[in-house]
């Protein structure tokens, strides 16, 4: 098992929080004619999609904020990390066409 690398985790969590705010510019509010890997339902359930996007932004920001603690322990990160994972999975299951 790999040893926990707090500096790398901190950097990565910050990057993830930044990236979580960026993709929404590529998701129009109405279906366009361009190529998309989104299911048709994403256009019918825009409010749900928007809520999941907000949850992703919130959970990744919370995770990044926790990395500022003086003694960063993996056990303290497990629950917030799982929350990020759950939001990602919910969006993928609901809206990704694969």
Instruction: Read off the pLDDT band of 2 (50, 70, 90).
Output: confident
pLDDT at 14 (0 to 100): 96
pLDDT at 6 (0 to 100): 92
Cα 95–chain centre separation = 14
Question: For residue 30, is it within any domain?
Answer: no
Residue 18 to residue 14: CA distance in whole angstroms:
6
Residue 98 to residue 71: CA distance in whole angstroms:
41
Question: For residue 76, is it within any domain?
Answer: yes
pLDDT in tens, 58-77: 999 999 999 988 888 999 99
- Give the residue-averaged pLDDT of 45-49: 82
- Give the residue-averaged pLDDT of 67-92: 92
Give me the domain span that covers residue 10. 6-22+42-95
Instruction: Read off the pLDDT band of 1 (50, 70, 90).
Output: confident
Question: For residue 57, is it within any domain?
Answer: yes
Residue 43 to residue 48: CA distance in whole angstroms:
10
Q: How many domains does the chain have?
A: 1
């Amino acid at each position: 098992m790999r040893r926990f690398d707090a500096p790398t985790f901190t950097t990565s969590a910050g990057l993830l929080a930044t990236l979580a705010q960026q993709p929404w510019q590529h998701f129009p509010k109405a279906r366009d004619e361009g190529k998309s890997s989104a299911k048709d339902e994403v256009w019918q359930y825009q409010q749900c999609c928007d809520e999941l996007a907000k949850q992703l932004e919130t959970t990744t920001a919370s995770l990044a904020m926790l990395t500022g603690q003086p003694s960063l322990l993996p056990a303290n990160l497990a629950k917030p990390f799982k929350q990020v994972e759950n939001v990602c999975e919910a969006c993928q299951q609901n809206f990704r066409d694969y």
